[in-house]
Structure 1
Amino acid sequence: MNAEFMQAFEQLGREKGIAPEVLFDAIEAALISAYKRNFSSAQNVRVALDRDTGEIHVYARKAVVEDVADPRLEISLPEARELDPRYELEDVVELEVTPKNFGRIAAQTAKQVVVQRIREAERGIIYEEYSSRESDIVTGIVQRIEAKNVFVDLGKAEAILQPSEQIPGEVYRHSDRLKTYIIEVKKTTKGPQILVSRTHPGLLKRLFELEVPEIHDGIVEIKSVAREPGLRSKIAVHSRDENVDPVGSCVGHKGMRVQTIVNELKGEKIDIVKWNADPAKYIANALSPAKVVAVDVNETEKASRVIVPDYQLSLAIGKEGQNARLAAKLTGWKIDIKSESQVQTPE
């Protein structure tokens, strides 16, 4: 290998973010394997690659011993002292064994090592970039669907939307533009594996953070999120500024802000409720759109009993218990809903 060859390797390494010394060390290690493979050698060898000229020298390393058991790995003290009288027992003698045609093999090996290291470095960069973006939203394009897994092209990398993370009933087509939530980035032998979700509550939270400036600026805070993906969600918000309405900020002018998020989630209904430090008021808000007459709370068991007007009972419970279930998930409280007539005439 000539000097220009070495400069090209060094420049390429720098461009790809690989320290030249790391690259050259890897080439030397690969050349040892190439030498042993091509010359059927069981010797202990060292390869020296001149960083400036590109010259390669192969040295057989032999331990200085009293009695030689394996001449490929050992040399007697008298023989060693013929080479240099300063040698002592247990020293290591290096004898040059560079083959005449080793340059061609070396160049080919070096090229393979550089390509491999660059690929590893690029995978490492992608892993670092996306692992730092866990719990964030990414926008990608649906590339293909295999065994119900949806593969999403993120530009530099490919993400996998597994069946368990897909919104029930949502149809994904090739070239669809899709917002997803990064739940995990794994290191694999084939490079980083990015797992994304359309069902995670974090997706809803991040969509609101992107869509509502007051949330992004920290004036309005998202306290809790509860989702039944594709059907209905509830989000509890609180304003740090008493002059700012947290619910109104999230709904937006004529409902524009929340509608954008509903459209992104293909029609998933979203209830935005006001968080309150008082559990009774918070639970009443969480059961929106139903109107609540009274809430009794048991702090010890974190359970509540909610009384609603008779005509509001089905609304408070919701279809198949959905409204009550989401309210319980949102608040973290058990909620038992009764109508006024049930309370007056106990069963």
Structure 2
Amino acid sequence: MNEDFINALYEIEKEKGISKDIIFEALESALISSYKKNFGSSQNVIVEMDKETGEATVYSIRDVVENVENEYLEISLDDAKKINDMYEIGDVARIEITPRDFGRIAAQTAKQVVIQRIKDAERDVIYDEFINRENEIITGMIQRISKNNVFIDLGKTEAILPPTEQIEGENYSQSDRLKLLILEVKKTTKGPQIILSRSHPDLVKRLFELEVPEISNGIVDIYSIAREAGSRTKIAVHSKDPNVDPLGACVGFKGSRVKAIVDELNGEKIDIVIWSNNIEEFIANSLSPSKVIKVEVLEKEKSALVVVPDYQLSLAIGKEGQNARLAAKLTNWKIDIKSESQYSEHILSENILSGDEDNIVKTVNIETILEEDNNNEEI
């Protein structure tokens, strides 16, 4: 090793941010292993490197004793004094034992250590960069697909989109560009592992932040999101400024903003609803696009009975119960949906069970009066 090597270390320190002292420590440790591998491992040795010239020197460390029992670990006082008159019994002697061709071994070892250190440093830089970006959105290109795992090229590194984080039914092809959520960043023996997601609800949140300036500026807040990836998402928003319509801001001119998000999610339906501090109103809004006639809430149980027009019952419940299920997730309330006729039957049966005959009579009388009024109008 020579001056060029030292200059190279300074360049590495400057470009990669790796301290040359760290590299020297790693080199000394590696050279000890190399020496023991090539020249015997019985001795206790240390390696010191000249930080100006890069020259490596090997020393055998032995205890100064009166009677030598292990020549690899001990040295007699007479022999020790031949090296240095100052040695006494109990001292630790340093004896230079640098082999002739150790420079070649040192050069090979140095190359391997420096390469490894550069790799480690680059991995650390990537980890430090992405660990602070968890839950952010990123654009990547599909590099390859293996065993249902999609590997995404992020430029500096490769990330993985596992099957559990993929959108069901979404097709992935090499070279496709996607927007993804950085779900988790982990340190592994092979470097940082970056887990991405296309199915997490926060992906929709980040997409709205990108498309809607009022959200990124903090004027409009996203209260909650309920998502069944690839099928439908409900998002509840509200405005801090009474002059800003949160629904209009999210939809955009002629639906341009929400359309951009729907296109990115390959046609996933998105319902934007207005959040309200009034839970009855919020629950009614959450069942959009269905109309709601009445909402009865039980605060302690966090459950609500919702009454909808007969002809909109199936719309309120949704295909396979999806609309009701997403509304429950969005509001975090248990929601029971009934049509007007079902609700009337429900009230009637409750009155019968409770024995409130007067209430039944009143109901009948009201209906009779209404019928009579209608008849009189017709006459």
SS of 2:22's partner is helix
Q: Tell me if the contact between 1:13 and 1:118 (Cα under 8 Å) persists in the aligned partners.
A: no
**How far off its partner does 1:283 sit?**
0.6
Shift of 1:14: 2.5
Q: Aligned residue for 2:9?
A: 9
CA distance in 1, matches of 2:269, 2:2: 67
* Cα distance in 2, alignment partners of residues 91 and 286 from structure 1: 83
Where does residue 317 of structure 2 map in the other structure?
317
User: Residue 126 of structure 1 aligns with which residue?
Assistant: 126
Query: Is 1:143 the counterpart of 2:143 in the alignment?
Result: yes
- Identity, in percent, stands at 63
- Superposed, which structure 2 residues align to 1:1-347 within 5 Å? 1-346=1-346
Shift of 1:127: 1.1
Instruction: Give the 3-state SS of the residue equivalent to 1:345 in structure 2.
Output: helix
* Alpha-carbon distance in structure 2 between the residues aligned to 1:217 and 1:36: 63
AA aligned opposite 1:11: E
Q: Quote the Cα distance in structure 2 between the aligned partners of 1:191 and 1:119.
A: 9
CA deviations 1:9-38 (Å, max 9, x no partner) are 221233111011001111111111111111
Q: Is the 8 A contact 1:280 1:296 kept in 2?
A: yes
CA drift of 1:85 comes to 4.1
Q: CA deviation at 1:77?
A: 3.9
Structure 1's 40 and 314: CA in aligned 2 closer, same or farther, altered over 3 A? same
- One-letter code of the match for 1:145? I
- Pairwise CA RMSD: 1.3
Q: d(CA) in 1 for partners of 2:300 and 2:66?
A: 82
CA distance in 1, matches of 2:290, 2:46: 79
Range that drifts further, 95-104 or 9-18 = 9-18
- SS state at 1:114 partner: helix
**Structure 1 residue 78 displacement after superposition:** 4.5
Q: Deviation of residue 66 (structure 1)?
A: 4.5
TM-score by length of 2: 0.89
| Deviation for aligned residue 1:91 | 2.6
Q: Distance in 1 between matches of 2:64 and 2:216?
A: 71
Tell me how far 1:246 sits from its aligned partner: 0.9
Larger Rg: 2
Q: Take 2:10 and 2:89, find their aligned partners in 1: how far apart are those partners?
A: 40
Task: Tell me if structure 2 keeps the 8 A contact 1:62–1:92.
Answer: yes
> What is the DSSP-based 3-state SS (H/G/I as helix, E as strand, rest coil) of the residue aligned with 1:300?
coil
Q: CA deviation at 1:174?
A: 0.9
**Shift, 1:6, TM fit:** 1.4
* Structure 1 residue 258: Cα displacement: 0.4
Q: Equivalents in 2 of 1:342, 1:272: separation in Å? A: 28
Aligned CA distance change for structure 1 residues 254 and 57 (closer, same or farther; 3 Å): same
Distance 2:185 2:81 in 1: 58
Match of 2:274, as an amino acid? K
Pick the structure with more helix per residue: 2
The AA in structure 2 aligned to 1:309 is P
Deviation at 1:304, TM superposition (A): 0.8
Distance 2:164 2:125 in 1: 28
Q: How far apart in 1 are the matches of 2:262 and 2:90?
A: 76
**Residue in structure 1 matched with residue 355 of structure 2 by the alignment:** none
Matched letter for residue 306 of structure 2? V
> CA separation in 1, counterparts of 2:294 and 2:56?
86
Q: Structure 1: any 5+ residue segments left out of the alignment?
A: none
- Aligned to 1:15, the other structure's residue is in SS state helix
The whole-number CA distance in structure 2 between the counterparts of 1:225 and 1:90 is 74
Letter of the 2:123 partner, please give it. R
Q: 2 CA distance for matches of 1:311 and 1:36?
A: 86
8 Å CA contact 1:30, 1:113 repeated in 2: yes
Q: TM-score, normalised by structure 1?
A: 0.97
In 1, the alpha carbon distance for the partners of 2:31 and 2:191 equals 25
SS at match of 2:243: coil
Q: Which amino acid aligns with 1:248?
A: G
Name the SS of the counterpart of 2:171 in structure 1.
coil
- Alignment deviations for residues 50-93 of structure 1 (CA, whole Å, 9 cap, x no partner): 11112221111112345433111122344434433433444321
- Take 1:293 and 1:67, find their aligned partners in 2: how far apart are those partners? 103
8 A Cα contact 1:282 1:331, kept in partner:
yes
Q: CA deviation at 1:41?
A: 3.6
Stretch of structure 1 that moved more, 77-86 or 36-45:
77-86
User: Aligned equivalents of 2:90 and 2:331: distance in 1?
Assistant: 74
Equivalent-residue separation in structure 1 for 2:66 and 2:212 (angstroms): 81
Residues 227, 326 of structure 1: 8 Å contact kept? yes
Deviation at 1:313, TM superposition (A): 0.9
Seen in structure 2, the aligned counterparts of structure 1 residues 339 and 3 have a Cα distance that, compared at 3 Å, is: same
Q: Kindly indicate whether the alpha-carbon contact (under 8 Å) linking 1:13 and 1:23 is maintained by their aligned counterparts in 2.
A: no
Question: How far does residue 247 in structure 1 lie from its aligned partner after superposition?
Answer: 1.1
Query: How far apart are the structure 2 equivalents of 1:191 and 1:248?
Result: 45
Moved >4 Å (runs of 4+)? none
